[in-house]
Amino acid sequence: MQGIETLLSLREKARQGGGEKALLRLRSQGKWSARERVDYLLDNPAEAIEIGLLAGEGMYEEVGGCPAGGVIVKIGKVQGIPCVIVANDATVKAGAWFPITAKKNLRAQEIAMQNRIPIIYLVDSAGVYLPLQDEVFPDKEHFGRIFRNNAVMSAMGIPQYAAIMGPCVAGGAYLPIMSDEAIIVEKTGSVFLAGPYLVKAAIGEETDVETLGGAVTHSQISGVTDYQAKNDQEALDIIKRLVAQTQRRSSFRWERHEPIPPARPPEKIYELLPPDPTRPYDMYPVIESLVDAGSFTEYKAGYGKTLITGYARIEGWPVGIVANQRTMVRSGRGEMQFGGVIYSDSADKAARFILNCNQKQIPILFLQDVTGFMVGTRAEHGGIIKDGAKMVNAVANSVVPKITVIVGNSYGAGNYAMCGRAYDPRLIVAWHTARIAVMGGTQAAQTLLQIYKRDQKLTKEEEERLLNEIRQRYEKQMSPYYAAARLWVDEIIRPEETRTYIATMIEAAQWGYEPRPFPTGVIQT
């Protein structure tokens, strides 16, 4: 279980939020914690999956950090219906919005829009974290995009429910009120464009929080909110009843078989992965540890062997699998091929397989451990760019749900071809063994060193020092924790959690999925 202790430790730290002192302050106000609120909503909290638990890890240390990005996001069932739940964590800087908070909220909305599932906002926030307002407020993917998405989701018919369970100020006031229905909690919930101090400064009026924007004001005078609740529990019970009225938007259903445990125990995946990420290993046993026993049917097994393609079931759900093979293999021409590298024949096979999955309306699972496309004269003469472009085109235009698991390396254009973040996977998660970068640290260091040596003479000692500096910087940036902190991946998960994450996402995707044609555009053959 190499390295898994670090993941478990960071998870526990993130779940603590702003710490015990801040939690006690919430309790004194009669509030539940953000995690208690979310768990109360969920039918079975143990079956829900979390998104962005490690968001913000190692960032904003100069101001005390921002655990979990200051907001809890989970996908799970409420009254039997898959939902996205977003809850401000008031123990973290009073629920203030950091740049990563906005990014995480936008990701939650994106998941709801992609899958057309309801989204629930549990609002308890002091608003934008003012020292970083320039990184939160004005740009396209900043704070204002949240409210734009509220409007777009409403037009799409995606249900949005909001409970105002604490302060909700300034521009943030629009989020719950642009939702379909809004609940406000007496004495703790408040919503206004400007608080009492700003009102006094702006127009000289003296007022207080309750009179300005409390539950009685907005439920009985302004009509801004739709329901008034005595406490957190009553507010959440109202949301449960509202969600229960939600109707499916799609009649489409994937045929789910009775789930069968994998042929290999998922808990033993650790034994299959080498401690050194540069060493080869066989991906087939990993696949056997993830799919329902006996369900894997390989496609073009003898061709393009550095990519494994085939159909299977995971927790009974149908999937098409595209996985990098990390062992040395022999091509159909008898040539030895490096594991983890995508060759022309592999790219060609994968593109065809992706077309087949779209034809059959089968979700696609990408298992990444890729060092990139093959380079060199022979590969270029063989048209590797053309064949790679064919695969990238197929991935980009695929209309079925895509899920990506980064098992090991995720380098360069290989990240793109294997459905990295830029290619809109419904879910992208990483194992603790993942490494994400434009290239490996050693290759990057050697490449940059050659550029430096072209412009200036270096002594042997200077070369070694420069190599180490570059390599160390790359190693830090390649870490899955660096990626998770910035939401390049949705979550770092233990290998044995993979089946649950995949199954939950496929079930959510089914809620609003509508089959549609697969437009490939221009593909060079």
pLDDT above 70 (res 524): no
Of residues 169 and 482, more confidently modeled = 482
Cβ neighbours for 436, distance < 8 A, ≥ 6 positions apart: 406, 410, 411, 415, 430, 478, 480, 483, 488, 489
Cα–Cα distances in Å, from 115 out to 43, 110, 242, 421? 19, 9, 19, 16
Among 315-319, 449-453, 482-486, the range scoring the smallest mean pLDDT is: 449-453
Give residue 258's pLDDT.
Answer: 97
Give residue 62's pLDDT.
Answer: 92
Burial of 358-386, coded b for 16+ CB within 10 Å and e otherwise, reads: beebbbbbbbbbbbbbbeeeebeeeebee
Q: Summarize the confidence of residues 156-175 as an average pLDDT.
A: 89
Per DSSP (E only), the strands in 133-241 are 160-169, 181-185, 190-192, 227-229
Residue 232's identity, in one-letter code, is: D
**Of 231-235, 336-340, 508-512, which one has max mean pLDDT?**
231-235
pLDDT above 80 (res 457): no
Q: Summarize the confidence of residues 201-205 as an average pLDDT.
A: 92
Q: Summarize the confidence of residues 470-497 as an average pLDDT.
A: 92
Q: Dihedral, CA atoms, 38, 404, 505, 255, nearest 10 degrees? A: -170
In this structure, are residues 364 and 401 in contact, taking their beta carbons and an 8 Å threshold? yes
Q: What percent of the chain has pLDDT over 90?
A: 76
Cα–Cα distances in Å, from 453 out to 444, 458, 468, 469, 473? 14, 7, 15, 15, 19
Give residue 174's pLDDT.
Answer: 84
pLDDT above 50 (res 321): yes
Write down the residue that tokens 């697969």 correspond to. Answer: 518
In this structure, are residues 86 and 157 in contact, taking their beta carbons and an 8 Å threshold? no
pLDDT above 60 (res 260): yes
Name the pTM for this structure.
Answer: 0.94
Q: What percent of the chain has pLDDT over 70?
A: 97
pLDDT digits (tens, 9 = 90+) for 6-23: 999 999 999 999 999 999
Phi (first) and psi of residue 30, to 5 degrees: 80, 20
Phi (first) and psi of residue 187, to 5 degrees: 75, -30
Residues facing residue 97 across a β-bridge: 128
* pLDDT confidence band for 171 (50 / 70 / 90): low
- The string of DSSP codes covering 339-372 is TTEE-HHHHHHHHHHHHHHHHHT--EEEEEEE-E
CA-CA-CA-CA torsion sign (124, 127, 131, 134): positive
Question: Pairing between strand 435-437 and 427-430?
Answer: unpaired
Phi (first) and psi of residue 182, to 5 degrees: -125, 135
pLDDT above 60 (res 42): yes
The single-letter DSSP state of residue 269 is G
Residue 393's identity, in one-letter code, is: N
Question: Pairing between strand 307-314 and 317-324?
Answer: antiparallel
Task: State the Cα angle at 473 between 470 and 477, rounded to 5°.
Answer: 135
* pLDDT confidence band for 1 (50 / 70 / 90): very low
According to the 3-state scheme, what is the secondary structure of 479-503?
Answer: CHHHHHHCCCCCEECCHHHHHHHHH
Token pair, residue 121, equals 């906002």
Cβ neighbours for 201, distance < 8 A, ≥ 6 positions apart: none
Nearest to 150 by CA among 184, 192, 119, 114: 119
pLDDT digits (tens, 9 = 90+) for 379-426: 898 889 999 999 999 999 999 999 999 999 999 899 999 999 999 999
pLDDT digits (tens, 9 = 90+) for 349-358: 999 999 999 9
Measured CA to CA, the distance from residue 158 to residue 372 in angstroms comes to 38
Among 190-199, 251-260, 417-426, the range scoring the smallest mean pLDDT is: 190-199
Question: Pairing between strand 119-125 and 81-88?
Answer: parallel
pLDDT digits (tens, 9 = 90+) for 267-278: 999 999 998 888
Give residue 257's pLDDT.
Answer: 97
Phi (first) and psi of residue 307, to 5 degrees: -125, 135
In this structure, are residues 164 and 225 in contact, taking their beta carbons and an 8 Å threshold? yes
Nearest to 38 by CA among 29, 30, 49: 49
Measured CA to CA, the distance from residue 311 to residue 127 in angstroms comes to 47
pLDDT digits (tens, 9 = 90+) for 99-115: 999 999 999 999 999 99
Mean per-residue pLDDT over the chain, rounded: 92
